Amino acid sequence: MNIKENELDKNFNHKKKMVKIKQARDKLMKNKNQEKGLIIVHTGLGKGKSSSAFGMIMRCIAHKMPCAVVQFIKGTWKTGEKDFLIKKFSKECNFFVSGDGFTWDTQDREKDINSAKIGWDKAKEYILNQKIRFVLLDEINIALRYKYLDIDDVTTFLLKSKPFMTHVVLTGRNADTKLIEISDLVTEMNLIKHPFKKGIKAQPGIEF
Amino acid sequence: MNIKENELDKNFNHKKKMVKIKQARDKLMKNKNQEKGLIIVHTGLGKGKSSSAFGMIMRCIAHKMPCAVVQFIKGTWKTGEKDFLIKKFSKECNFFVSGDGFTWDTQDREKDINSAKIGWDKAKEYILNQKIRFVLLDEINIALRYKYLDIDDVTTFLLKSKPFMTHVVLTGRNADTKLIEISDLVTEMNLIKHPFKKGIKAQPGIEF
């Protein structure tokens, strides 16, 4: 068999396989016809928890779905995404900064608790506003982990008061198991390789 | 001990702990002073591979770092991120669509190979253009997995021809181990819970 025939064979077999995959996929997708506002969690030690939520905000703006961000913890950190949304898309996306910085920078538990509570009040306001279709609670898992916010308050509110079609995304490492239990979509970002280990610092575009 | 004293104790212990964390962190960060264009991989079966790369593009635009996207495979799929970038940020971000759709939709290996090769040529052009600081090769891992592109061609080019300060992000499940070996930052997105399993369809803002 020469090379050309071999290629033709490969093309033919590929088509047979893809027809089968397509049939299986169509069957699978036939039952996926419901729409629902999701409770989404991004957790794990890897990168991409906040950035993928901001990627979804890009999608929401494109689809003309009004959205909102409450940024816990990171507060004073100057990030590209905050700049971008506040300067260019303040109509499309509400942006509220509640944190005063990382816990190890503020070193002030009382102040951190107060900031977290103000952030959570704003979060509830955004979520209850039915015009807003997508609410990102960035790094809220950190505030929950330090018990600045009560996990039962948060899960009860999401389960009982979130409008049916509103999506809420909660990010941050060490997501509470109670939160994972009530969520619809949970992704764990795992670190396989990280350049910090090789002395590379946090860089614009990548980490902030 | 009454409740108020207990809280004061907690605040005091928190501060002591945070001062220690801050010291450890400062020491750790002191050696992280290098900047370098990174080879970044987002892989795994979970969500967030493409969306976090698009979140990084939001960061790049904010930092006035010109960027580019080559979209392999997803091609004809109408996504929010494509609309958003093409309509609002065509100056800041080049966008090239090389794929004709999912492999199970095209069912045409020869056409898929041709599209992948055109995409890879464009990718090389973007990467070699030193004005462009960040290049996203979305879903290229799929093209590599089906051997539409040669893994050695891709890794050799990235290692030998990528300008030192240019970041390149490669997304898609089943990243080749040869690619992981040469990368600086690798994140695996794992699926913990997915609403597809409960009959919820792909929704705007979330999946596209």
Q: Which DSSP letter does residue B34 get?
A: B
Judged by a CB distance cut-off of 8 A, whether residue A189 touches chain B is yes
d(CA B202, CA B161): 38
In the predicted model, what is the mean pLDDT of residues B42-71? 97
B103: pLDDT strictly greater than 80: no
Q: Tens digits of per-residue pLDDT, B66-92?
A: 999 999 986 667 889 999 999 999 999
Band the pLDDT of A2: cuts 50, 70, 90.
low
- What is the pLDDT at residue B111? 87
State the burial class of residue A90 (Cβ atoms within 10 Å of its Cβ: 0-12, 13-18, 19+). Answer: exposed
A178 vs B contacts (CB less than 8 Å):
none
- What is the pLDDT at residue B19? 87
**Nearest CB to B11 within list A81, A87, A110:** A110
Judged by a CB distance cut-off of 8 A, whether residue A191 touches chain B is yes
- What is the pLDDT at residue A127? 98
A136 close to A55: Cβ distance less than 8 angstroms: no
B62 vs A contacts (CB less than 8 Å):
80-81, 83-84, 87
Q: Tens digits of per-residue pLDDT, A138-177?
A: 999 999 999 999 999 999 999 999 999 999 999 999 999 9
- What is the pLDDT at residue A107? 79
Handedness of CA B88, A189, A208, A143 (dihedral sign): positive
> In chain B, whose CA is at the least distance from the CA of A67?
B205
CB pair distance less than 8 Å for A205 and B134: yes
d(CA B75, CA B64): 27
Q: Residue A42's closest CA among B171, B46, B204, B55?
A: B46
- What is the pLDDT at residue A76? 66
A193 vs B contacts (CB less than 8 Å):
180, 183-186
Q: Tens digits of per-residue pLDDT, A183-205?
A: 999 999 999 998 877 788 889 99
CB pair distance less than 8 Å for A54 and B53: no
- Between A128-137, B42-51, B89-98, B105-114, the lowest mean confidence (pLDDT) is in B105-114
Question: pTM for the whole thing?
Answer: 0.89
- The edge-to-edge listing of strands for the beta sheet with A39-43 is A93-97, A67-71, A134-138, A167-171, A39-43, A185-193, B185-193, B39-43, B167-171, B134-138, B67-71, B93-97
B81 close to B52: Cβ distance less than 8 angstroms: no
Q: Tens digits of per-residue pLDDT, A37-71?
A: 999 999 999 999 999 999 999 999 999 999 999 99
A65 vs B contacts (CB less than 8 Å):
204-205
How many CB pairs (< 8 A) connect A and B?
A: 266
Q: pLDDT > 90: what percent of chain B?
A: 68
Band the pLDDT of B187: cuts 50, 70, 90.
very high
A1: pLDDT strictly greater than 80: no
Q: Tens digits of per-residue pLDDT, B143-184?
A: 999 999 999 999 999 999 999 999 999 999 999 999 999 999
d(CA A83, CA A106): 22
- What is the pLDDT at residue A78? 83
Q: Residue B172 is encoded by which pair of tokens?
A: 């898609």
